[in-house]
Amino acid sequence: MTTAVLFVQNTSVSSIASFNDKISNEIPKILDPWSFELKIYRTNAIVGKLLAGMNQQNTTQAKELISRVMYTLNLSYTPKQTISIVNNEVTIFNTDRSKGDELLDHGCSTGFYDPIDSIIQNKLNALWQPLQGLKGEGGNSYEVTLDEEDVFIIRTANCFLHGGFKGFLVEMTYEKGGEDGEEKIKSLIKKLNFPNGKLSFDKLGDGKENKFFGDLAFQYTQALQI
Amino acid sequence: MVQELSLVSTINKKEFNFVINSLIALTGQKPRSLTNENIIYSPIINLKYLQSKQAINNSVNLNQIEQHLVKIRRSWQMYSPGKKNPNVVVNEILSNDNQLFMKKVGAGDVKLGERDTTNDGENQYSFQISDIPAAGKRKVSSQTIYEVNIKQSATALRSYMMNLGYVEKQRFLIKGLKFLYNGVVNIEIFQVFAIDATDGKTVVQIIDGSENWFLKAYVNVAKITDISLINKASSDLALLQKNVGNLIKLKIPDRGLMDSRINDNL
C-alpha cells in the first residue's frame, strides 16, 4: 500500500468543488464523508525559560529539546486511534475497548480509555503545549479505478487553521503493494490533472512499525508544511 | 478517565491460604491468576527541580503545572502448560520459582530475561497517569486514572517515550490472584517483584522480604461525575469491608504514597 498527501494552498473554499467534479468524471465509487484533525504541540516555553535561568539553554541537547514538536493525527475513518509522531518516532494510541481484553484480563487496565490528546492536555501539559490545530472538514472520499486494475482511494477536505481557510488537502492511497506505488499515484495526479501543491510521499524510514499510518501521518505533517 | 475507588490491606504469609479459601466461599468463584508487568516512566527534565535551582530574579511560576509519573502496564503469563484447575493456579502463584516468570511475547513464550534483547514482538500496553487521591475525610480512597492503549514493540515504545520526554525509572512484576465480588468489586491479592536488568542479566526479587501479600479491593467508575454510581461503588466496597471484617482489615491507602506527581527531588 502506498500513500501520498497533497496540500493545495492559494485557493478558495469553493475550488474543492471543481476538483471533486473532476474526480466524478472518472465515475468513482462514492465512499463515506470524512474529516481529520492534526494537532501540533511544542515543548512548553517554561522548559526553555528554566534552562535559560541556569544558562543551559544553548547546549545541543537543550536546543533540541526546546525546539521539539509533537503531532497527533485523528482520522475520522479510523475513529478509535490517534497517530502520534515526535522526532520521527510514531506511536498509535487506541481507545478501542475491544482491543484491551488481554490487558483487562491480567489486571493491567481500567477498561476505559481516554484520547491521547486529552491526556496530553491534562497530564503532560508541563512538557507539551498545544501550538496549533488544523482541521480538515466536509471531506469527500472516492474509490477510483484507472486502467481497469489500479484502485485508488482519494480523500479530499478543506483545511482550516483556527477557523480560517488554509487550502485543501488530498489524501491518496494506492491499494496494491509493490515498488511502483509512487509512480501509480503520480500517474493518477497527472491523469486527473490535480492542481499544484505541496506533495508528500515522505516516509518515516525503514523498519518502523505502524508503518502505514506512521508514514501517512508524516505525509500530513510534511504536506501541510508545519 | 475513571474514578478508582479502593481499599487495601496486607495479608500475612501464613494466612494466605485461609484468606483465599474464605474469598472462594464469599465470592462463590475460583480465583483467577493476576500477572502483569509495570514500568514506571519518569520525566527526563524535572521542572520543579530546575525551578528550585533558579536565581531569584528569574523565577518562573510553576504553580499550575505538575509533572506526573507514567505507568506502562502489560500482561505476562506464567509458564504452565495446564492451568485450568484452580488448585494449579493457586500453587503456581504460591511458588517462589523464578523460572515461572515466563512471558508471552509475540509468537512464543520466552524467559523474562531474554525478552528485551532477543524478541521484539508487539505487545499490548496500557499507558496510565493517575492523579493524587482526593483529599478529605472519606470512607474509601478515590483516585482519577487516565488511560490509553498502545500496541507496539518494547524497543519502539521506549524510543517514543524518550522523545515524549520520559525515561524508565522502575520495573516490577505483580503476581497474584483475583476475584470479583458481587459482580462489581475487584479483589486482587498479590506480591510485587522488582526487576533488575543491569549487567545483561535479569534478576527478579520480591520487594517485601517478609513475603506478605497485598490486597487491593477496587471499583472503577467510568463516569466520574455520576455521584450515584460513585456512591453505589462506595457502598459495594463498604459491604465487602463489613463481610470480611474479621479476616481482612480493609483500610484507605496512604494518600501520599499514591501521589504520582514529581517533586523537586532528583
Which pLDDT does position B35 carry in this prediction?
Answer: 84
Query: Tens digit of pLDDT for each residue in A70-105?
Result: 999 999 999 999 999 999 899 999 998 877 788 888
**What does the pLDDT look like over B224-259, one tens digit per residue?**
788 999 999 999 999 999 999 989 999 999 999 999
Whether B28 is in a domain gets the answer yes
Measured distance CA(B31)–CA(A40) in Å, rounded: 46
pLDDT band with cut points at 50, 70 and 90 for residue A221: very high
Q: In which domain, by residue range, is B124 found? A: 2-53+65-258
pLDDT of residue B202: 63
* Integer CA distances (angstroms), B199 to B101, B113, B244, in order: 19, 11, 45
User: What CA–CA distance (Å, rounded) separates B245 from B236?
Assistant: 14
pLDDT at residue B111 above 60? no
Q: Which chain A residue's Cα is nearest to B166?
A: A127
Question: B109 - beta bridge partners?
Answer: B104
Q: Please state, in angstroms and rounded to a whole number, the distance separating the CA atoms of residues A168 and A155.
A: 10
In a domain, B13, yes or no: yes
Give a yes or no: residue B187 inside a domain. Answer: yes
The contacts of residue A206 (CB under 8 Å, 6+ apart) are none
Q: How far apart are the C-alpha atoms of B228 and B235, rounded to whole Å?
A: 10
d(CA B116, CA B110): 10
Do residues A157 and A36 lie in contact, with contact meaning Cβ atoms separated by under 8 Å?
yes
The CATH code of the domain that includes A218 is 2.20.140.20
- Judged against a pLDDT cut of 70, whether residue A112 lies above it is answered with yes
Contact residues, B window 221-240, toward A, CB-based 8 Å cutoff: 222
What is the model's pLDDT at position A189?
Answer: 93
Q: Which residue has the cell 490491606?
A: B9
Three-class SS of residue A9?
A: coil
Q: Which domain holds residue A160?
A: 2-223
Structure confidence by residue, pLDDT tens digits, B213-222: 999 999 999 9
Q: What is the DSSP letter of B59?
A: -
Residues 6+ apart with CB under 8 A from B65: A44, A46, A125, A126, B47
Helix (H, G, I), strand (E, B) or coil at A148: coil
Name the helix (H) or strand (E) containing A22: helix A15-24
Q: Give the model confidence (pLDDT) of B69-106 as tens digits.
A: 999 998 876 655 444 555 556 666 666 655 555 443 33
Residue B224 lies in a domain: yes
Count how many residues are written for chain B: 266
Assess contact for A136 and A36: CB atoms under 8 A.
yes
CA distance A224 to A38: 10
- Phi, psi angle pair for B239, to nearest 5°: -65, -45
Phi, psi (5° rounding) for residue A18? -70, -30
pLDDT band at B41 (very low <50, low <70, confident <90, very high): very high
Q: What is the ipTM of this complex?
A: 0.91
Output the pLDDT for position B106: 36
Task: Find the CATH number of the domain harbouring B224.
Answer: 2.40.320.10
What are B24-33's pLDDT values in tens digits? Answer: 999 998 888 8
Average pLDDT, chain B: 83
Which chain A positions have a beta carbon within 8 Å of B73's beta carbon?
Answer: 103, 108-109
Total structural domains in chain A?
1
Number of domains in chain B: 1
Q: Is B114 part of a structural domain of the chain?
A: yes
Q: Is residue B60 part of a domain?
A: no
Q: pTM of the entire structure?
A: 0.90
Whether B31 has its CB under 8 Å from any CB of chain A: the answer is: no
Chain B, 43-72: which have a CB under 8 Å from a chain A CB?
43, 45, 47, 50-51, 53-55, 58, 60, 62, 65-68
Which cell is B129 given? 497517569
φ, ψ for residue B227, nearest 5 deg: -60, -40
Residues in B closer than 8 angstroms to A129, CB to CB, are none
Comparing alpha-carbon positions, the chain B residue that sits nearest to A56 is B50
CB contact under 8 A, B127 and A93: yes
